[in-house]
Structure 1
Amino acid sequence: MYKSCCFILGFFLSSVQTHAESIQSSFAGESKVFLNIYGFAADIDGGIGYHGLNYQLDQPFKDTLDALDQALMGHLEINKGKWGIFSDIQYVKTEEKKQVYSFPVVLSTKVNLSNFGVYYRAYEQFPNGQGFVIEPTLGMNYTDLKGVLGALGRQVSVEEDWYEYFGGVRLRYNDDSPWNIAAQYTYGTEQTQIAQAYLGYRQKIYTAPVNFRVGYRYVSQDYKKDSFKWDTVQQGPVIGIGVGF
């Protein structure tokens, strides 16, 4: 009995050590930092509702651009071995310049959709993340909305924010060619869906690797709480430039 217990304990400790070494080896390699600044030319459709005042959104990007007050869009990523963390922010503030009293209008809006996540390189066609790569992701979205709805001289201030967990997957393909492809899909616990796909062209400027990207982004949200609803779809082309450190 004593020998059996010793054997089982030894096997358990050996297994733990093997797994610990495997996890440790997955972090092997130097740390890398990537920063991408992008512009999202989104058309917005859907509806906003608050305390009985509803507004149907059907706003092409041109109208958003005309009313644009502030915007910040960027993606930061830190990678070591097969692991990485990332954060993305999409902040847009608009100020409506016209007054329409016969139907509800959005006079001003601020939309902040940010996220933070972690990914793991579960599959790579070739070593060091070359070829076709699959990376599952987990993280959290944060949405912060502020706006003023107006109709017939009546104005209602809207302010809501919420967190939600998300899961998803990233797909990449790159080789020795400067051309590369990337796509990502995430689904949140509050029904936020984000899908995006990009074609990139990579080259060095001085000593820094720079990646120019064009693609398409789709963001769908359907959030309801008490008398508030935010049921919108944002979609359109994306253009960005990324640099590695």
Structure 2
Amino acid sequence: MTFSTQTLTGILCGTLMQTLVWAQPSHPPLSIYASAYGFSTQWQDQKGFSPLSYALDVPYSNSLDHVKMAHTVYLDVAKGPLGVYYDKQYYKASVDDRIEQFPARINVKMARQSIGTYLKVHDGQRSLDEPFLTLAPTIGVHLTEIDVDVKADVMGQTLTASRSASWHEPYIGARFAYNINRHWVLFGQINAGNRHSREQVAYVAYRSKLFNQPINVRLGYRRLDQKHIKDDFIWDITEKNLMLGFSIQLL
């Protein structure tokens, strides 16, 4: 069983339509949040393919030199304790490195989409002025799409190779939020897929208002571990992100 981007989009639209059915005048009301982040990236990985195999490490200090684009968009729709969400991470990078002793350029594009649902099993909220904790297990599907191009100068000859890969994996996880006071809140999320992916996210947010709409500014950290091997293509990566973004309540 495989999931294409179109299938995931269809599932998302269907789920959102079902969620909108909940939006009756009765309590609790429907809420919609949209978020956007930019991030710097550190890679620690071993990936490659025949005839060009390589190891690649990019520290934070070189992130701005190599990463051409890195962003995340997020949508959350909830009614009462039940919610659905969609997340898309995208980055594009170009790295000058060496394969064996030969100079090489490695171009990488990665898009990772996630769709999931959650149910709050604990919600201690009474007042935003008081500390409280919310906890919700999550379940969903990740879809990862990767394009890698490698070009190396070997003894006066230019060798090129490219590979594309895509795969989906169901996952389970949990998310929590700890309200410190009316302005400050801590968020965290973890999930594990059935094809070796692991993700941990943590950030702190400051609540405010923009044009009378609730908004919060977020600073956080994400770690993603993935391993995908198919034929002669290997994608075995640890990605660490420092994130800065915002979230706004649309409804």
Do both proteins adopt the same fold according to a TM-score greater than 0.5, normalized to the shorter chain?
yes
Paired position in structure 2 for 1:192? 197
Paired position in structure 2 for 1:40? 39
Paired position in structure 2 for 1:18? none
Cα offset, 1:51, TM superposition: 2.3
Q: Which is worse superposed, 203-212 or 87-96?
A: 87-96
Q: Is the 8 A contact 2:40 2:70 kept in 1?
A: no
After superposition, the Cα gap between the structure-2 partners of 1:215 and 1:241, relative to the gap in structure 1 and judged at 3 Å, is same
Name the CA distance, whole Å, in 2 between partners of 1:77 and 1:106: 38
Q: Which amino acid in structure 2 is aligned with residue 161 of structure 1?
A: S
Q: Is the 8 A contact 1:55 1:104 kept in 2?
A: no
Cα offset, 1:92, TM superposition: 1.0
Q: Which amino acid in structure 2 is aligned with residue 158 of structure 1?
A: R
Figure out how many residues of one structure are paired with residues of the other and give that number.
219
Alpha-carbon displacement from aligned partner over 1:192-238 (angstroms, at most 9, x marks no partner): 11101111110112211011111111111111122111111011321
Q: Matched residue of 2:32: which SS?
A: strand
The gaps in structure 2 that reach 5 residues or longer are 1-21
Q: Which amino acid in structure 1 is aligned with residue 230 of structure 2?
A: K
Q: Is the 8 A contact 1:149 1:158 kept in 2?
A: no
After superposition, residues 65-104 of structure 1 pair within 5 angstroms as 65-96=64-95, 98=96, 102-103=101-102
Name the CA distance, whole Å, in 2 between partners of 1:104 and 1:226: 25
After superposition, the Cα gap between the structure-2 partners of 1:225 and 1:99, relative to the gap in structure 1 and judged at 3 Å, is closer
After superposition, residues 203-214 of structure 1 pair within 5 angstroms as 203-214=208-219
TM value normalised by structure 1: 0.82
Paired position in structure 1 for 2:238? 233
Is residue 161 of structure 2 the alignment partner of residue 156 of structure 1?
yes
Paired position in structure 1 for 2:115? 116
Q: Is the 8 A contact 2:75 2:86 kept in 1?
A: yes
Structure of larger gyration radius:
1
Pick one of 174, 180, 183 that aligns with 1:178.
Answer: 183
After superposition, the Cα gap between the structure-2 partners of 1:179 and 1:54, relative to the gap in structure 1 and judged at 3 Å, is same
The gaps in structure 1 that reach 5 residues or longer are 1-23
Alpha-carbon displacement from aligned partner over 1:115-151 (angstroms, at most 9, x marks no partner): 1110000111235998201100000111100011233
Q: Percent identity?
A: 26
Q: Which amino acid in structure 2 is aligned with residue 92 of structure 1?
A: Y
Cα offset, 1:164, TM superposition: 0.4
Cα offset, 1:43, TM superposition: 0.5
Name the CA distance, whole Å, in 2 between partners of 1:227 and 1:28: 55
Name the CA distance, whole Å, in 2 between partners of 1:47 and 1:243: 38
Q: Is the 8 A contact 2:97 2:103 kept in 1?
A: no
After superposition, the Cα gap between the structure-2 partners of 1:99 and 1:219, relative to the gap in structure 1 and judged at 3 Å, is closer
After superposition, the Cα gap between the structure-2 partners of 1:105 and 1:127, relative to the gap in structure 1 and judged at 3 Å, is farther
Name the CA distance, whole Å, in 2 between partners of 1:198 and 1:132: 15
Paired position in structure 2 for 1:202? 207
CA RMSD of aligned residues (A): 2.3
Paired position in structure 1 for 2:30? 31
Paired position in structure 1 for 2:147? 146
Name the CA distance, whole Å, in 2 between partners of 1:132 and 1:90: 27
Q: Is the 8 A contact 1:45 1:232 kept in 2?
A: yes
Q: Matched residue of 1:177: which SS?
A: coil
Cα offset, 1:175, TM superposition: 5.8
Name the CA distance, whole Å, in 2 between partners of 1:184 and 1:47: 26
Pick one of 148, 162, 170 that aligns with 1:165.
Answer: 170
Paired position in structure 1 for 2:6? none
Name the CA distance, whole Å, in 1 between partners of 2:97 and 2:44: 20
Segments ≥4 residues shifted beyond 4 Å: 98-101, 127-130
TM value normalised by structure 2: 0.80
